[in-house]
Structure 1
């Protein structure tokens, strides 16, 4: 296949993919009254409520400008400009992700080590050290009671060190009382999208709070079995999953 033919095919695929994005915006965010809306107006409306569109909005505006250049500048029905394969593939990936966004369970399901509120802190710290954990969910009577984090442990140690001797037989419940008010956690149902997880971290950060972890259960309830966990260290993997 010649280079010219390849560029023409890439351009045609780009325009097809852009049409799919337009359909997505119209079907999900259009006024529904049959009147024409330009792409920019649809995009602005979608950004207000659509997590995925918010993430791709900058790219989509660039792609819209390129689409306009392609369709409005032709000579004898031939495009005067063309897209390269990388640009086309990026837009096609966005289309696929919008059609079937990755779910948190498929990406972050794992066995989650937990402790009870009555567990001695010395035992909990031993487990955290052995498994190289920076945080561990705590349960009391089958209900989530909080996250035991390394920062919380450090504050507890600082408040309880006396003559270089710390008692490690106290229950985890007492250590949890040293949590910072800005340390937060969140629950998501297993079918929640990766977009929702990414936005959760962003929302807390904008409030000046730190989302220590997102806990995944069947329906996002704190009484259900943990199916997975997402921490700030998992964000690069989450961003990669949605093409960012």
Structure 2
């Protein structure tokens, strides 16, 4: 057969007369098709698998899976349509079936972001920037959520601090008693933050960072709360530096 990648992820696409493996492959593909129609279907019932995969292409859930799923679609078509007396002309290798089952499991039951949750260090708008710098340096933080009277107002980032320093250093000195709220005025318009619910999936995290990038903006931090509302207690924070962990969680 042609058109299938041979990058070493699995050994071939067919072989070993394993009817059970082939049945599991078709069952897994049926689950995949139901998920794609539910998530990306138009609701009109005319969407074929290539069309659904094309719609899903830009989502974080499909990162690293699109090429494999296109190949599996070809294989599924051969298995279903090329039969003699209702017997398969081809059977799938166990490794192929396991790989598809792995993908379907991640797509239909994606890992949640619980492993990003934990105590979050914050500062106040009234705090001196020198105090905030000390905290960020000692804890190796690049982002620091800022509150005023217990209400969230923004995220202080190392990039914003660098711009403030560049504009205010005189004779190699800077006034570190300036309040954090003044430094926040140097935040770029493309620098954004967003909130996400604690039960969100890792794919939603990947989608969020990609969505802001497509819009020409930079997502500095995803702030985790119970329901994804800024009025709720912070339960965790995700930055661009955490994306390798997110990718690892979904096996990519």
Cα-to-partner distance string for 1:125-155 (whole Å, 9 max, x where unaligned): 1111111111111111222221111111111
Q: Tell me, yes or no, if the aligned pair for 1:142 and 1:223 is still in contact at 8 Å.
A: no
Q: In the superposition, relative to structure 1, how do residues 65 and 116 fare at CA in structure 2: closer, same or farther (>3 Å)? A: same
Cα-to-partner distance string for 1:209-244 (whole Å, 9 max, x where unaligned): 111110011121112111111111111221232333
Which residue of structure 1 aligns with residue 152 of structure 2? 144
For the pair 1:228 / 2:239, whether they are aligned, the reply is no
Which residue of structure 2 aligns with residue 47 of structure 1? 56
Aligned partner of residue 146 in structure 1, secondary structure: strand
Aligned partner of residue 199 in structure 2, secondary structure: coil
Output the CA distance in 2 between the equivalents of 1:52 and 1:207.
19
Cα-to-partner distance string for 1:150-207 (whole Å, 9 max, x where unaligned): 1111111111111112121111111111111111111111122222211111111112
* Bigger share in helix: 1
Output the CA distance in 2 between the equivalents of 1:150 and 1:181.
15
Of 158, 162, 165, the match for 1:154? 162
Cα-to-partner distance string for 1:77-129 (whole Å, 9 max, x where unaligned): 5534333333322211222223322222x231111110011111111111111
Q: In the superposition, relative to structure 1, how do residues 27 and 125 fare at CA in structure 2: closer, same or farther (>3 Å)? A: closer
Moved more, 184-193 or 113-122: 184-193
Cα-to-partner distance string for 1:39-72 (whole Å, 9 max, x where unaligned): 345545x639976468744432221111112233
Aligned partner of residue 4 in structure 1, secondary structure: coil
Aligned partner of residue 186 in structure 1, secondary structure: strand
Which residue of structure 2 aligns with residue 187 of structure 1? 195
Query: Can you give the 5+ residue segments of structure 2 that lack an aligned partner in the other structure?
Result: 1-14
Q: In the superposition, relative to structure 1, how do residues 231 and 88 fare at CA in structure 2: closer, same or farther (>3 Å)? A: same
Q: In the superposition, relative to structure 1, how do residues 210 and 86 fare at CA in structure 2: closer, same or farther (>3 Å)? A: farther
Output the CA distance in 2 between the equivalents of 1:110 and 1:242.
20
Q: Tell me, yes or no, if the aligned pair for 2:160 and 2:188 is still in contact at 8 Å.
A: yes
For the pair 1:174 / 2:182, whether they are aligned, the reply is yes
For the pair 1:71 / 2:80, whether they are aligned, the reply is yes
Q: Tell me, yes or no, if the aligned pair for 1:47 and 1:54 is still in contact at 8 Å.
A: no
Moved more, 180-189 or 17-26: 17-26
Aligned partner of residue 152 in structure 1, secondary structure: helix
Q: Tell me, yes or no, if the aligned pair for 2:40 and 2:56 is still in contact at 8 Å.
A: no
Q: In the superposition, relative to structure 1, how do residues 143 and 74 fare at CA in structure 2: closer, same or farther (>3 Å)? A: same
Which residue of structure 1 aligns with residue 20 of structure 2? 9
Q: Tell me, yes or no, if the aligned pair for 1:93 and 1:243 is still in contact at 8 Å.
A: no
Output the CA distance in 1 between the equivalents of 2:93 and 2:159.
48
Taking only aligned residues, the RMSD between alpha carbons, in angstroms, comes to 2.7
Output the CA distance in 1 between the equivalents of 2:108 and 2:176.
52
Aligned partner of residue 177 in structure 1, secondary structure: helix
Q: Tell me, yes or no, if the aligned pair for 2:24 and 2:97 is still in contact at 8 Å.
A: yes
Output the CA distance in 2 between the equivalents of 1:29 and 1:167.
53
TM-score (norm 2): 0.82
How many residues of Structure 1 are paired with residues of Structure 2 in the alignment?
A: 238
Output the CA distance in 2 between the equivalents of 1:202 and 1:140.
30
